[in-house]
């Protein structure tokens, strides 16, 4: 995983810088999401790993599958990736690009896991509180996991806030055993 990130980082950074300079962050986000999805399809995986196709043929086939959704610059990125045997990196490139985009836009996706369904009002309050705490625009998504017993588990990028009953019990057990 770390190796894939290392290989994908310069491509993601270049795509982000180009999109940012052109004022096309969302368009590039959409194009990279499509390209990442196409690269993970079984038929495309087989075609890209075929030794009988040249890098140019792989790039053309890939761009053809994506159709009009990719502009000329994105098609050039696909060609460069094909020439370097890196088309399989597209999902990682897309993920890194989204991190750059979120950082630029001062936004963060937050996943909240609770033992019970949160009301819309409570989600709004939580989003506002997290937005103030993280100094970013927060996009909140919630899920239910009865195993956490109560409280909440909040994931925002690399930050994890474990306020669940299950997490607190685990910390207590660890403290008692040490």
Q: pLDDT tens across 76-103, in order?
A: 999 999 999 899 999 999 999 998 888 8
Topology of domain 2-102 in CATH is Peroxidase; domain 1 (1.10.520)
Please say whether the dihedral angle defined by the alpha carbons of residues 18, 73, 44 and 6, taken in this order, is positive or negative: negative
Break the chain into its structural domains and give their ranges.
Answer: 2-102, 106-177
Q: What angle do CA 53, 59, 60 make, to 5 degrees?
A: 90
With a cut of 70, say whether residue 2 has pLDDT above it.
no
The helix (run of H) or strand (run of E) holding residue 103 is helix 90-104
HEC sequence for 107-148: EEEEEEEECCCCCHHHHHHHHHHHHHHHCCEEEEEEEECHHH
Beta-strand relationship, 152-156 and 107-114: antiparallel
With a cut of 60, say whether residue 1 has pLDDT above it.
no
pTM for the full predicted model: 0.64
- The answer to whether the beta carbons of residues 78 and 35 sit under 8 Å apart is yes
pLDDT at site 9: 92
């Amino acid at each position: 995983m770390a190796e894939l990130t290392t290989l994908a980082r310069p491509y993601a950074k270049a795509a982000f810088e180009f999109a940012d300079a052109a004022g096309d962050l969302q368009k590039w986000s959409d194009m990279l999401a499509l390209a990442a999805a196409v690269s993970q399809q079984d038929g495309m995986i087989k075609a890209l790993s075929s030794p009988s196709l040249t890098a140019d043929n792989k790039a053309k086939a890939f761009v053809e599958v994506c159709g009009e959704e990719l502009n000329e610059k994105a098609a050039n990125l696909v060609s460069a990736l094909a020439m370097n045997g890196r088309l399989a990196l597209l999902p990682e490139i897309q993920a890194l690009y989204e991190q750059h985009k979120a950082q630029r836009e001062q936004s963060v996706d937050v996943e909240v896991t609770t033992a019970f369904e949160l009301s819309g009002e409570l989600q709004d309050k939580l989003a506002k509180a997290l937005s103030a705490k993280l100094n970013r625009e927060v996009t909140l998504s919630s899920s239910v996991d009865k195993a956490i017993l109560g409280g909440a588990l909040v994931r925002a990028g690399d930050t994890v806030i474990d306020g669940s009953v299950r997490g607190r019990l685990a910390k207590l057990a660890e403290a008692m055993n040490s």
